[in-house]
A and B are shown apart, each in its own frame.
Chain A
Amino acid sequence: MSAYTEAVVIKLGIAILLALGYWITAATGKFSFGHAAFMGIGAYTASILTVNFDWSLETSILVSGLTGAVAGAFVGWISLRLSILYLAIITFAFAEIVKILLESWDYVGGASGLFGMRGTTIPLVAICILVVIVYLFFLTRSRKGLSYEAIREDEQAARACGLGVTRISVEAFAVSAAITGVAGALSAHETLIITPSQFGAPQSLLIILFVVLGGVQYFWGAIVGAVVLTMLPIWFDFLEDYYQITYGLLFVVLMILRPQGIIGRSTERRFNLDSLKRLVPGRSGGGRDG
């Protein structure tokens, strides 16, 4: 396998990990707008450990997962009690804050970042993906997974069934952040250099796009989204320059035409009184529940 192919495969693998990680929290219906922060936290944690303390990559990856989980639990606990607007704002701001802090922290090289990390191999990435897929396989067939879906469908109904909505959402968020952290660690040791600017809003949006493109209903939809979006600029290299415009437009078009993603059922027609509400000339954003 050529070095180029290897790089592409690893990049693909990391994208898949990021997508699967994000899917877990999207499965509860919670959309974070700053997941790249957890990727950055994982990347920096692992890099500090391997470069400055000579830890093995495998152990460092585990620690990144842990730091990701802690950061995720923290952010999740603050924001998941509040509405989705607050979640969007807090996660967005959190990512920017982490980026700014990293840029001013000399120990990690400030804006110039860290370099010298190496060691990510295809088997390593594959193992991580396998672990996550096995977890997701069981999750989606268990009562825990069912509770995630319930929260996504209707939080109030979930409360009425006794579900600790905030607790479950935070748990999902923390797991999601952990996996994202691991992906960050793997990515850092592949690209050899990490800078804070790598983990900004464009990266967060890309992660969201993986999942939103693939659809939230099935976790393998996220894999499809990740593969398509990673391979697109490789298959069509003229897209490389227009990357930002392309995803921006993709978001817009997707949200109008098929917000549930490519894979996943089309919207339900509901045979109850709620469908009458649509006949009222109301706003196209019914965020407030009665």
Chain B
Amino acid sequence: MLIQQLVNGLLLGTTFALIALSFNLVVGALDRLNFALGETAMVSAICGALFMSQLDIPFLLALFAALAVGALVAALTFLLSFRFVSAEYHTAPILSSLGVGLVITSLVTRALGSDQRRVPTVLDVQIEIGPLRIVGDQLIILVVAALMTVLLYVFLNRTSWGTAIRGVSDDPDMSGLLGIPVQRVILLTFVLSGTLAGASGLLTGLSFHTVSPFTGFETTLTALMVIVIGGLGNITGGVIAALMIGVIETLTVAYLSATFRDLIVFVLVGITLLARPQGLFTRDTGVVGRV
């Protein structure tokens, strides 16, 4: 049923939106990529899953645990790959964060094995609205994702720390001169991005009822596709692109085939890069050949 697939697609899109947001925050703040975010999402998800399945901890607490793990890992990544890396070498932080991602994956597989882990169902209900059938877990994903996005928006626009983050994204030198503790604000940005990644990881795990230690790169790849299409650093663009891709992927799998799913997204990215490299939803700010 088309409506059903659309809804499923949107739901998938919300998990994409969270991870895209997490990447975009860092891109916006530092004009850099934290390549370890995919692994950050993964390790948060695994911790959350462990708490739920091994320790019988209720979902909400496990979710907070995942957010905390994500925040911690992101803060660590900031320290290791960004804070103490010389500003002269533009690619160094990106490379370093890739390294961090590798280390995370290795540590997780070493400590906890390479098996997939089950994420138990949280809300065992089904709601039927006309032709639509929504499962309890889907509702949870939707609510959590929506809540986090709204909270993020409110934080960025209505609080002083949020404004500081936007200031630093816009003009770090000026912000510094105005007395804003730039490094601390950047740390905060990373922490925020880590919590978003953590949420994305656990929610995705909930959606498929499984988490695996090897999803790091795949998550990163998906997030990168989304932010390229939405526009690097463009927060709203990223969300729209995420939902769009969620729907496209779901529809492709439903009506065409699974192999086409990846292909179509790649083609979309290719088109975006050729026709409108600043992103489908970004005004032309001279991205090409950044003068």
User: Given B92, B173, B177, B220, which contacts A255 in the complex, CB threshold below 8 Å?
Assistant: B92
Complex formed: what's the CA distance from A259 to B87 in Å?
Answer: 11
Q: Which residues on the A side are within 8 Å of B103 (C-beta)?
A: 244-245, 248-249, 252
Shortest distance from the beta carbon of A287 to any chain B beta carbon, whole Å: 3
Q: How far is the CA of A247 from the CA of B100 in the complex (A)?
A: 10
**Which of A92, A248, A280, A285 contacts B82, CB < 8 Å?**
A285
Known: A248-B101, A283-B186, A287-B31. A277 touches B173 (CB 8 A): yes
B215 on the A face (CB < 8 A)? no
Q: Is the CB of B89 within 8 A of A255?
A: yes
CA A156 – CA B290 in complex, angstroms? 10
Taking CB atoms, residues of chain B closer than 8 Å to A124 are none
A49 interface contact, C-beta 8 A: no
Instruction: Decide if A256 touches B225 in the complex (CB within 8 Å).
Output: no
> What mask results when residues 197 to 215 of chain A are scored 1 for a CB within 8 Å of chain B, else 0?
0001110010010001000
Contact A267/B86 with A251-B98, A255-B96, A283-B183 known, Cβ cut-off 8 Å: yes
Q: Give chain A residues whose Cβ lies under 8 Å from the Cβ of B177.
A: 280
Binds A, one of B112-120, B134-142, B266-274: B266-274
Inter-chain CB contacts under 8 Å: number: 173
Q: Mark A68-84 against chain B: 1 for CB-CB distance below 8 A, else 0.
A: 00000000001101111
For window 213-272 of B, CB contacts with A under 8 Å fall at 217, 220-221, 224-225, 227-228, 232, 259, 262-263, 266, 269-270
Which of A81, A85, A267 is the most central at the interface, judged by chain B CB atoms within 10 Å of its CB? Answer: A85
Interface pair A284/B98, CB less than 8 Å apart? no
Chain A CB count within 10 A is highest, among B80, B103, B220, for B103
Assess whether A88 is in contact with B289, with CB atoms less than 8 Å apart: no
Instruction: Tell whether A104 is near chain B: CB-to-CB under 8 Å.
Output: yes
- Chain B: how many interface residues by the 8 Å CB criterion? 65
- Closest beta carbon of chain A to B231's beta carbon, Å: 11
Shortest distance in angstroms between B4's beta carbon and chain A's nearest beta carbon? 27
Size bin of chain A's contact surface: 35 or more
- CA A77 – CA B133 in complex, angstroms? 47
Set of chain A residues within 8 Å of B14, measured between Cβ atoms:
none
Any chain B CB within 8 A of the CB of A286?
yes
Q: Is there an interface contact between B277 and A82, defined as CB atoms closer than 8 Å?
A: yes
Main secondary structure of the interface of A (DSSP, over half): helix
A248 near B83: Cβ-Cβ < 8 Å: no
Q: Are A288 and B176 in contact (CB under 8 A)?
A: no
Q: Closest A-chain residue to B225, C-beta based?
A: A93
Whether A282 touches B217, Cβ cut-off 8 Å, given contacts A31-B95, A205-B102, is no
- Please tell me if B9 contacts chain A, counting CB pairs below 8 Å: no
- Chain A 243-276 interface 0/1 with B at a Cβ cutoff of 8 Å (1 = within): 0110111111011100110000001000000000
Shortest Cβ distance from A201 into B: residue: B217
**Does B33 contact A252, Cβ atoms closer than 8 Å?**
no
Least Cβ–Cβ distance between B114 and chain A, in angstroms: 12
With A104-B259, A252-B80 known as contacts, the answer to whether A84 contacts B90 (CB < 8 A) is yes
Assuming the contacts A86-B228, A256-B80, A267-B88, asked whether A283 and B95 have C-beta atoms less than 8 A apart, the reply is no
Which of A82, A200, A284, A285 gathers the greatest number of chain B CB atoms within 10 Å?
A285
* Given known contacts A88-B94, A205-B98, A82 and B287 CB-to-CB distance under 8 angstroms: yes
Cβ of B60 under 8 Å from chain A: no
Some 12 contacts from A to B, beta carbons below 8 A apart, are: A31-B91, A81-B288, A84-B94, A85-B94, A93-B228, A96-B221, A244-B103, A251-B96, A259-B86, A267-B86, A287-B30, A289-B290
